Amino acid sequence: MKIAITGSEGFIGSRLARKLTQAGHQIVPIDTAGASPVDLLDQETLTHALSGCDAVYHLAAAHRDDIFPRSIYYDVNVTGTRNVIQSAQKNGINRIIFTSSFAVYGLSAKTPDEMTPPAPFNDYGQSKLEAEYVLKKWAEASPEHKLTILRPVVVFGEGNRGNVHTLIDQIARQKFLMIGSGKNKKSLAYVENVVDFLAHTLGFPHQIGLYNYADKPDLSTEEMISLIYTRLSVALPKIRLPYMAGLAGGYMFDGLSKVTGKRFPISSVRIQKFCADTTCSAEACRQTGFTPSFSLSDGLNRMIESDFIQSIRPAKTA
């Protein structure tokens, strides 16, 4: 098959492109980076790029916590999705696989499954939900249209510079300060498992499929941190900061970011997400016959080995 991937140069997209290429598919990269940049907001160029494709993996998104103005989330995530749909229609493409986000459920959804009503708490989650609505309307317009929506939790892995990397980096440099009790549970997803599941969905027969994705069993924040400290051979600190004190610090950095235009590793949203129970049911994806190749511990250990231990090993042997 000839398959387009939006966000093909990104963390998940680049691995998916490699996976599908190895499976014998022809990949059309759609990204603002790379040799032939394509912007989702450039309808004409996007339509030309999708010519001859059989399916589209739509992964591109504005997703950082600190994007300003907030309208960028809606420009990229909603208008960009509309443009993908229009370009697909003009090229007769009937299969779209979309990576949405666990953020559509909000912070207080307990352990949502796919039937849980969405309640996003930020513009990223809201824009992803609106993109889902646009795609569902497209899918419902024709029985030939096939739509798969994946709502992954936090995805981590080698080379990623997201929240999990920031956490490991702070621990490695002994700059980490524990906020809250650490008893809250976290659903996480290792990137290689996510990519395998995305590839698995390519042949799904149903018109609309919706799946949460998380690798089970869930870890508590305390368990995850202990695993990282142990793998890095660093002693666990005894000092912890109460949640409300940490949140106040996050709001302070929010203010500094707006005034200075700089991005900081601490924000109120990140503190809230760090201390919240963010778990989800992932039973539906398992019922498709998919079995992940790696456990969460495997994934964390692989990331630590690749991005941290290997980088300091030469210094130790010198």
* 63 falls within a domain: yes
The average confidence (pLDDT) of the chain is: 93
Of 57, 73, 105, 124, the active-site residue reads 124
- pLDDT at residue number 316: 43
- pLDDT at residue number 311: 66
pLDDT above 90 (res 97): yes
* 249 falls within a domain: no
Nearest to 180 by CA among 112, 270, 103: 270
pLDDT above 70 covers a percentage of the chain that reads 97
Dist. CA 157–CA 12, nearest whole Å: 9
Token pair belonging to 142: 């024709």
Residue 317 banded pLDDT, cuts 50, 70, 90: very low
Characterize the bridge pairing of strands 185-190 and 215-220: antiparallel
Coarse DSSP helix, strand, coil percentages of the chain, rounded to the nearest 5 percent: 45, 15, 35
267 to each of 67, 132, 157, 169, 252, how far by Cα in Å?
A: 12, 27, 22, 17, 8
Sheet holding 55-58, edge to edge: 26-30, 2-6, 55-58, 95-99, 146-152, 208-213
- pLDDT at residue number 66: 72
Token pair belonging to 286: 């398992």
Distance of CA 134 to the CA centre of its chain: 20
Mean pLDDT of 16-32: 98
- Strand, coil or helix: what is 144? coil
For residue 78, give the DSSP letter.
Answer: I
* 98 falls within a domain: yes
What's the predicted TM-score (pTM) here?
0.89
* 21 falls within a domain: yes
- pLDDT at residue number 239: 87
- pLDDT at residue number 312: 60
- pLDDT at residue number 315: 46
Dist. CA 239–CA 279, nearest whole Å: 26
113-140 pLDDT per residue, tens = 999 999 998 999 999 999 999 999 999 9
Q: How many domains does the chain have?
A: 1
* 225 falls within a domain: no
Domain range enclosing 75:
2-160+188-216+279-294
Q: What are phi and psi of 249, to 5 degrees?
A: -65, -35
* 267 falls within a domain: no
Mean pLDDT of 253-272: 89
* 71 falls within a domain: yes
- pLDDT at residue number 298: 98
Mean pLDDT of 178-189: 94
CB count, 10 Å around CB of 255? 10
pLDDT above 80 (res 65): no
Residue 105 sits in a domain whose CATH number is 3.40.50.720
* 16 falls within a domain: yes
Length of the chain (residues): 318
For residue 79, give the DSSP letter.
Answer: I
Known catalytic membership, residue 133: no
Nearest to 77 by CA among 62, 58, 90: 62
